[in-house]
Structure 1
Amino acid sequence: MENERLQEVQGLTVSYKVFGEISAPTTVLLLHGWGARKELFDRAAREIRGKTGACVITLDLPGFGASSTPKSAWFTKDFSDSLSNFLDAVGIQHLSVLGGHSHGGRVAVRYAYDHPEKVDKLLLIDSAGLPAKHSLRMKMRVKLFKALKSLLCFAVPKGALQQNLLSRLSGFFGSTDYQQAGAMRQTMVQVIHEDFSPLLPHLRQPTLLVWGEKDLDTPLWMANEIKKAIPDAGLVVWPDAGHYSFLDRPVEFSLVTAKFLTG
């Protein structure tokens, strides 16, 4: 049994899917990454539900998928607060496993830190949360962007033309995610600069990290650093998987998650 629903949460509409019964004794919540949507977890949700009998919930984070977009730029804490309000609204007071991929992992960490009594276990999938180590080429690219931006602001008077040129410049130098972020662009700028290292040692939950060895977006060194920082953490690495390891190895992901839930 699965169905898609909408929930109003403090002026925002959140789209979510329920696999099973919300009244089930165990509940798993899975959060997607940046630019993605809840449907990426459909197969995993069905298989985890089938193996464990748990209620599995997926949702579109505000600003993504079928959920509405916040009117102002958010930090990860805002996503955590919104998640808390959503769970209260749908009557879920406790999560057996809270899982998140990439940006969703960042949100999961923040929620588990904010509400330790409401999360039994934490599942981080190719998770964001640590600042990237930029290559020399990237550092030079950033310096060039800043120099051109300063020159443009000096040479072109303030107004529509300047804003248009600045937007074009940012689009040229920005990442693919940045270029496609649209209304969520400033939120992206804010969250990617957040460093969750200080939070990790305070996480009380047993934590499982699942990573693709070929992940280029959140490289494996991040998984190792996160594992070291969290008091009770384990790491599973799949050699032939990338940033979307749960899609690259769907059967193994469902098995590992089910075992983590019931173990």
Structure 2
Amino acid sequence: MDVTYENTAQTVRTDKGVLRYHEAGDGPPLILLHGSGIGVNGWRNFGGNLSGLAEHFHCYILEFPGFGASDPIPGSHPVLTAVASVVRFMDALAVESAAMIGNSMGGVVGAMVALAHPARVDKLVTVGGVGTNIFSPGPSEGTRLLREFADNPSREALIRWLHCMVFDPKWVTDDLIAERWQAATQPAALQTLQAMYGSKAAALQQQSEAQSKVPPYWSMLHKVQCPTLLVWGADDRQCPLDMAQIPLRLIPDAELHVLSNCGHWVFLEAKQKFERISVEFLQR
């Protein structure tokens, strides 16, 4: 199926602003949830996978508020805003339930939707992100590089982070650097990145977590009711592989697929394998 940015782009108005998304294919609904990072959005994460997945599913790539495409919602943490936006999006399009694929932060968002609204998530595929560090240092190398960029944006800091996302440096092209730099310096996108990874935000989050009586989401993963596939790159330096142990142990119906010679961007570096594994799991 031939898909482009232009012929798949859609908008829907909700009570908290416009949500933008990309739509393609027929079949059971599949919502793709993008990650966080420098210059990220839904199309940049999953645009290259849309053609393959749309052969089997009615696909929606949702653009989270605050990342430069959908209308921003000030005053809330970007992850919580993203979780609420998934439910608003499904309500606006009258999608009662759907399978979901979430990359990194998108996997966390998908898991949180499954925890809060179990009837809305049929199956869940996560690409890194879900869980917490057990053996590896925290914050991870990738998170430290995100903080470096959030505190002092520069092309050099962007390039260091991009190289951290992949196993093979061939993926860090001049075009990718230029595209991400242009996107990352947009005010709304930079503000969202700083709210997630900046030093001040990190300090406030640590203080909030210390005072909060609400347990972290990953400690509640035993309540996820849907079958869940955890996909991980063996060489992930953003979300190291040991993070997978907690969701694999806690989620009642979970399985883990690890891809060698692959970093955090599994959907890019192992495109065909990722799509084949995901389709097989979702159609099972």
What TM-score, normalized to structure 2? 0.71
User: Which amino acid in structure 2 is aligned with residue 85 of structure 1?
Assistant: R
Distance 1:245 1:100 in 2: 12
Distance 1:119 1:251 in 2: 24
Q: Give aligned pairs, total.
A: 228
Distance 2:33 2:271 in 1: 16
User: Which amino acid in structure 1 is aligned with residue 105 of structure 2?
Assistant: H
Task: State the shift of 1:117 in Å.
Answer: 1.0
> Residue 125 of structure 1 aligns with which residue?
127
Task: State the shift of 1:127 in Å.
Answer: 1.9
> Residue 94 of structure 2 aligns with which residue?
91
Distance 1:74 1:8 in 2: 21
Q: Does 1:108 align with 2:107?
A: no
* Cα pair 2:104 2:128 within 8 Å, conserved: yes
Q: Does 1:223 align with 2:232?
A: no
**Structure 2 residue ranges without an equivalent (≥5):** 162-183, 210-215
**Structure 1 residue ranges without an equivalent (≥5):** 142-167
> Residue 243 of structure 1 aligns with which residue?
264
Change (3 A) 1:217 1:87: same
Which secondary structure does the structure 2 equivalent of 1:15 belong to? strand
Which secondary structure does the structure 2 equivalent of 1:42 belong to? helix
Which secondary structure does the structure 2 equivalent of 1:64 belong to? coil
Task: State the shift of 1:38 in Å.
Answer: 1.6
Pair member with larger Rg: 1
> Residue 200 of structure 1 aligns with which residue?
221
Runs ≥4 residues deviating over 4 A: 135-138, 190-194
* Cα pair 1:73 1:187 within 8 Å, conserved: no
> Residue 233 of structure 1 aligns with which residue?
254
Distance 1:137 1:108 in 2: 22
* Cα pair 2:66 2:78 within 8 Å, conserved: no
> Residue 261 of structure 1 aligns with which residue?
282
Change (3 A) 1:192 1:124: farther
Distance 1:15 1:207 in 2: 26
Task: State the shift of 1:94 in Å.
Answer: 1.1
Identical-pair percentage: 27
- Which whole-Å deviations, capped at 9, do the CAs of 1:184-223 have from their partners, x for residues lacking one? 1224547986732222111011100000000011000001
Q: Does 1:18 align with 2:23?
A: yes
Change (3 A) 1:172 1:77: closer
1:182 to 184, 190, 193: 190
Output aligned runs, 1:146-165, within 5 Å: none
Which secondary structure does the structure 1 equivalent of 2:217 belong to? coil
* Cα pair 1:131 1:192 within 8 Å, conserved: no
Distance 1:247 1:126 in 2: 13
Distance 1:137 1:110 in 2: 22
- Which whole-Å deviations, capped at 9, do the CAs of 1:151-188 have from their partners, x for residues lacking one? xxxxxxxxxxxxxxxxx9x8259x868x9762212245
What TM-score, normalized to structure 1? 0.76
